């Protein structure tokens, strides 16, 4: 399986941080809003698209830069 680049955002407001709830059969988990980068898409454009898709933010919010770069391989998708 080809690795896929993903983007996520840390959105803080009044001392709180936004997490998105995800469900798969038999499990539930919470993640930062974000998702996969499409071919030819910049990281910032991918982040803006994912924020619009997941939480309805369609304004260009300022991106301060990467906080972390993580390399991981999931055995099960």
Domain boundaries, the chain: 6-55
Both tokens assigned to 76: 């099960």
Q: Give tens-digit pLDDT for 23-68.
A: 999 999 999 999 999 999 988 889 899 999 998 887 777 777 776 6
Q: Give tens-digit pLDDT for 1-19.
A: 677 888 998 888 899 999 9
Assessment of whether the complete model's pTM goes beyond 0.85: no
């Amino acid at each position: 399986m080809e690795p896929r680049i993903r983007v996520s955002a840390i959105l803080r407001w009044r001392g709180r941080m936004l997490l998105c709830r995800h469900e798969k059969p038999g499990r539930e988990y919470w993640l930062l809003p974000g998702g996969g980068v499409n071919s030819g898409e910049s990281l910032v454009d991918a982040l803006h698209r994912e924020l619009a898709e997941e939480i309805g933010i369609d304004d260009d919010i300022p991106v301060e830069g990467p906080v972390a770069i993580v390399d991981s391989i999931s055995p099960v998708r």
